[in-house]
Amino acid sequence: MAAKGGKSGDLREACVKQALAIIAKDGIDALSLRDVARRLGVSHQAPYKHFPSRDHILAEVVGRAYAGFAAYLEKRSRSDDPYEDLGLLGRCYLDYAQKHPLHYQLMFGTPLPDPAEHPEMMDKAEHAFATLRETIAKLPGRAPAASVDLDALYAWSVVHGLASILQTRATQQLGIRKATIAEATAHTLSRIGAALGRPRN
């Protein structure tokens, strides 16, 4: 008995969607394949026909988050000015994290399924860093590759750090005003530019 209204591919897809819904509502810890099955009206073992283990379905969910993130970054605005281009990338990165907190958290949260056992999960995982690298390589004075890597690491640290921090309750608990939070993205991106030698107007 296939899931309501379709072929087996539909059950697989329905499992992924349901897993995401459960995680969205109650967190990764609450993900239970039996719950998934129950919600889809199939036997508790049916999801295992498509995913050998709980980790596999989680890896699928995470892998899709990476892919969605990569696609989002690809669609960003661009500029011929390298500093502005970098700013637009940073902006896009943080926008994604803000608009899709769950997906962002899925990508960088712990514990994830072991990448060695789920290589396809990582297909698009490197995209953000690679994009940062390329964008930074275009900045003036970036000759050695190691220097590009160092600044790409720096930039990634900043945006990843801010994205992560903004997703926690920490900012509320630290007594940081909402107006300050609202300015944080622009301010932080400005600081990246300053750090990387953007000319002052």
Residues binding a copy of itself (CB under 8 A): 27-29, 105, 108-111, 115, 122, 125-126, 129-130, 146, 149-151, 153-154, 156-162, 164-165, 169-171, 173-174, 176-177, 179-180, 183-184, 187-188, 191-192, 194-197
Residue placing its CB nearer to a copy of itself in the complex, 74 or 126? 126
Using CB under 7 A as the binding rule, whether residue 35 contacts DNA is answered as yes
Would you say 11 and 2 are in contact if contact means Cβ atoms under 8 Å apart? yes
- Binding site partner of 99, from DNA, a copy of itself, none, Cβ cut-off 5-8 A by kind: none
Q: Give the nearest distance from C-beta 3 to DNA in angstroms.
A: 6
- Binding site partner of 55, from a copy of itself, DNA, none, Cβ cut-off 5-8 A by kind: DNA
Q: At 65, which amino acid appears?
A: A
Q: At 188, which amino acid appears?
A: T
Residue placing its CB nearer to DNA in the complex, 100 or 118? 118
Residue placing its CB nearer to DNA in the complex, 60 or 85? 60
Instruction: Concatenate the DSSP letters of all residues of 133-169 into one string.
Output: HHHHHTSTT--SHHHHHHHHHHHHHHHHHHHHHHHST
Burial class (CB in 10 A: 0-12, 13-18, 19+), 32: middle
Give the tokens for residue 37: 């099955």
Q: Give the nearest distance from C-beta 39 to a copy of itself in angstroms.
A: 21
Write the CB contacts of 171 (distance below 8 Å, at least 6 apart in sequence): 165, 181
Residue placing its CB nearer to DNA in the complex, 31 or 107? 31
Backbone angles phi, psi at 92, to 5 degrees: -65, -45
- Binding site partner of 151, from DNA, a copy of itself, none, Cβ cut-off 5-8 A by kind: a copy of itself
- Whether the link from the prior residue into 111 is cis, omega within 30° of 0, is yes
SS3 state at 199: coil
Q: What distance in Å separates the CA atoms of residue 201 and residue 199, rounded to the nearest whole number?
A: 6
Q: Which of 16, 33, 92, 97 binds DNA (CB under 7 A)?
A: 33
Residue placing its CB nearer to a copy of itself in the complex, 75 or 173? 173
Q: Give the nearest distance from C-beta 107 to a copy of itself in angstroms.
A: 10
Using CB under 7 A as the binding rule, whether residue 19 contacts DNA is answered as no
